[in-house]
Chains A and B, each alone.
Chain A
Amino acid sequence: MKRISLLCVLILLVSIALTGCGGRKPDSVGIVQAIGIDKANDGFNLSLQVFRVSSSGSQTPIDSSKTNVEVISAEGKTIANAVQLCENQLGKKIFFGHNQLLVINKEVEDIYSCLDYFINNDDAYIGMIVAATEKKAKDIISADISSGAVAAETMKKIFDISKKDGYCTDSRFYKVISNYINTKGTAVLPLIEKRSQAISDKSKESGEPAQDTLEIKKAILVKDSKFSETLETDEVFGINYFLSQVDDADMTVNTSYGTESAKLHSVKQNAEITEQNNSVAIDKEITVRITLEKEESKDHIDEIKAEVEKKIKEYIESACKKLFYENSADVMNITSLIRQKDYKLYKKLKDDPDEFIKNIKTDIKVSAVY
């Protein structure tokens, strides 16, 4: 028994020594919360939102009324080079394990070279959101968002809610890379915009500086590691409905009873793949559940259901048009679906994905249930 106890103690000692941050004291680590990448004259301009233990003017180490972060920037030929320069500035080792957000400026030319650094960095959190911006990425991650102790956490919540509502595609890092690999170079990233607005009428009157808010309504297509076309809100809805990723979306429909608002929730999807005259045909059935604010008559509900089905079909068709026929881009898991349903067909098509995506035939059926 004594030996067993000794053994347990020894093994636990080894394990405990390996588990914690033995080699890293918290004050010697720069905990990154958000990353911004902009194009520089020769390489990249990297901005990091780094957690600061004590915010300015606060009495306690973490003050939730203030943003406990600072933003540092450095220009480097590669991301690794820029990270090194940021470490020099900060005098701390950079740690990406808690990073929530990676924003890339639309002008950056080689997206994959930015993402590749984080694939090879085993510390990096694979669930971080990857987004694009038409403005400076540094401005986005420096946004003055008052709620929450760390701005990046609030930013992440904005993405989560936008995703539930259908305004934002699932752009977690590993999902983006997975799609990129499966489709040989295609992905879609939400487009993030910064807006300034006064917090309340009272603050407007008192002349307090306006607070920043972030908005996600569009997306941008990545093709062959470059930013391509911007997708409008309807097309983003189309992608999310096609993939059954809508959790809590609002939809306004016009019926004979007037304008109605309904809550939508993706329930299920089913797809069939067939080969037709050297092209691929996909029959997709999508089911959404409708929730209404108040009880309505059956005729009224049926009318709302018909309108919802029509609108969702329009969204999906507009997304298919823009993605498949205009850009030969697969961001709706078509390649994976073919691979799963018909591996022989996948083998035949995988070498020239652009060609089969461009000629794909879609038949979308939407059912709304109440």
Chain B
Amino acid sequence: MKISSWQLLILLFLSRIFIAITYFTLEDISPSVMMSTSAISVATDMVLVIPAIFLYKNYPDENVIISAFKVSKIFGIILTVLYFIFAVFMIFRTVRFFLYFFENAFSNLLPTLVVGVMLIAAAAYVAHLGIEAAARSSSIVFAVFILLLIAVVATTAEDFDITNYYVEHIDTNDVFGGIVSGLSRSSEIVVLVLVLPYLKTGITKSVYGFLLLKLLFVEMIILLCMLFLGGYMEAVQFPFFTVCSFAKAPFVDRLDAIFLVVWTLIGVIKLSLFTISLRPASVLLKPLQNSAVTNLVPFVLGGAPALYFAYKEQMIIPLLDNELTAAAIVLLGTVIPLVVLILRRFKREKN
């Protein structure tokens, strides 16, 4: 089953926007600096995705793991393990993050563990259905997300205070911090090198379209929060959610309820994408040939500790959002694909 470049673009975009519409750290960093560093971070991403693009252009039916297997079986197995661990880690981080937000913003609504289990079950089912189902669903979710954004902007626009907008000069520390922070939230760079075999055509359109769309929406969300909330943005943990809780549409009293629906749908898509991306390479390894293993094991391994930490009410998101995650993303999303490309070239010349 193959998906179009537009569908891949939407899948990657939804996966990235999951964090952007809720949590962005504002400690020691102003929204103005955040807008600048987001742009720099996207520029960095544009460079980091180049190996993925070359990989697709040279071997359109392979992803980084399949290509590694063609270099050597051991190399392939090592990479399978590495990417598998990464997928498990990202599932853990995403579920814990979802539940952290849920227990803070919607405390007492439903038991957190029940919500976590339902989320994992829905994501596992989407993963079981495969990339095509996830891609089709993501188009609907994207449309609902756009409607939500339009409703929020339309209902809050009259309260925008233009004096809240300002431009702050950024220094080297801000640039470095912004790039690291942006990278640690860009797991899509890694997903991309795994989902390549699913793409029909148009890798450049997908990847750069995704990055530009990401830039546009991240900047728009920060600007919206900045103009509407002003200094209040520093006092709250989830600024966009706070704006939604103020916004009133004719059909609903508070848009935060709609926000939760959209965010849950995006969360399901994001989670499923991690296991779906492992599937093309799974046929090469016997233990992974059983689809139940690839579909369920990452969710069990990643989801169980996330549920445990949620149950213990241990906040571990800042620990996950750091230089180490950024380094892992650069390694798995850029360095390894580049190494694989070079090794394939050597092997071809040798043959």
Binding site for B on A (CB under 8 A): 3-4, 6-8, 10-11, 14-24, 93, 97-98, 119, 122, 125-127, 174-175, 177-182, 333, 336-337, 339-340, 343, 346
Contacts and interface: CB of A to CB of B under 8 A. Distances in A.
28 contacts: A3-B129, A3-B133, A7-B133, A8-B140, A10-B125, A14-B122, A15-B260, A15-B261, A15-B264, A15-B265, A16-B261, A17-B115, A17-B118, A18-B109, A19-B261, A22-B110, A23-B108, A23-B110, A23-B111, A122-B104, A125-B254, A174-B230, A178-B229, A178-B231, A178-B232, A179-B230, A182-B231, A343-B168
Contacts of A333: 161, 163
Interface stretch (B3-11, B52-60, B212-220, B234-242): B234-242
Given A14-B122, A19-B257, A24 B169 contact: no
Interface in B224-261: 229-236, 238, 242, 245-246, 253-254, 257-258, 260-261
A10 B133 contact: no
A343 B231 contact: no
A367 to B, nearest CB: 20
A174 B232 contact: yes
- Pick from A15, A179, A337 the residue with the most CB of B within 10 Å: A15
B30 to A, nearest CB: 10
A112 to B, nearest CB: 11
Contacts of B115: 17-18
Given A126-B232, A343-B169, A18 B264 contact: yes
B268 interface: yes
Given A14-B264, A122-B107, A337 B163 contact: yes
A177 B254 CA distance: 21
A21 B238 CA distance: 21
A8 B139 CA distance: 12
Given A182-B231, A333-B163, A122 B105 contact: yes
A336 B163 contact: yes
Interface residues of B, number: 50
Nearest to A123: B107
Contacts of B126: 7, 10-11
B122 A177 contact: no
B75 interface: no
B107 A181 contact: no
B166 interface: yes
- The B contact surface, by secondary structure, is helix
Contact of B232 (A21, A177, A336): A177
A53 to B, nearest CB: 17
Given A14-B264, A126-B242, A127-B246, A23 B234 contact: no
B222 to A, nearest CB: 16
Contacts of B162: 340
A150 B178 CA distance: 48
Contacts of A7: 125-126, 129, 133, 137
B246 A174 contact: yes
Contacts of A125: 245-246, 254
Nearest to A342: B166
B331 to A, nearest CB: 33
Contacts of B107: 122
Interface in B150-199: 161-169
Contacts of A15: 260-261, 264-265
A182 B231 CA distance: 6
Closest 9 A/B residue pairs (Cβ): A181-B231, A178-B230, A178-B231, A182-B231, A336-B163, A15-B261, A178-B232, A174-B232, A340-B166
Given A7-B126, A98-B253, A125-B246, 17 more contacts: A14-B118, A18-B110, A18-B260, A18-B261, A19-B257, A19-B261, A20-B257, A119-B235, A119-B236, A122-B106, A126-B232, A174-B242, A177-B235, A178-B230, A179-B231, A181-B235, A343-B166
Contacts of A11: 122, 126, 137, 264-265, 268
B119 interface: yes
Contacts of A174: 229-230, 232, 242, 246
A336 B261 contact: no
Contacts of A21: 109
Contacts of B245: 97, 122, 125-126
B70 interface: no
B136 interface: yes
- Pick from B110, B126, B238 the residue with the most CB of A within 10 Å: B110
A174 B236 CA distance: 10
Contacts of B231: 177-182
Given A14-B118, A19-B260, A178-B230, A336 B246 contact: no
A14 B234 contact: no
A40 B5 CA distance: 65
Given A127-B246, A182-B230, A333-B163, A4 B109 contact: no
Given A174-B232, A181-B234, A182-B231, A14 B109 contact: no
B89 to A, nearest CB: 23
Contact of A340 (B111, B140, B165): B165
- Pick from A18, A127, A175, A337 the residue with the most CB of B within 10 Å: A18
Contacts of A23: 108-111
Nearest to B234: A181
A344 to B, nearest CB: 8
Interface in B74-126: 102, 104-111, 115, 118-119, 122, 125-126
A122 B129 CA distance: 36
A14 B265 CA distance: 9
A16 B122 CA distance: 13
Interface in B15-32: none
A22 B115 CA distance: 12
Contacts of B254: 97, 125
Contacts of B109: 18, 21-24
Contacts of B129: 3-4, 6-7
Contact of A181 (B105, B232, B257, B258): B232
Given A3-B129, A174-B232, A182-B231, A340 B268 contact: no
Contacts of A343: 166-169
Interface in B51-69: none
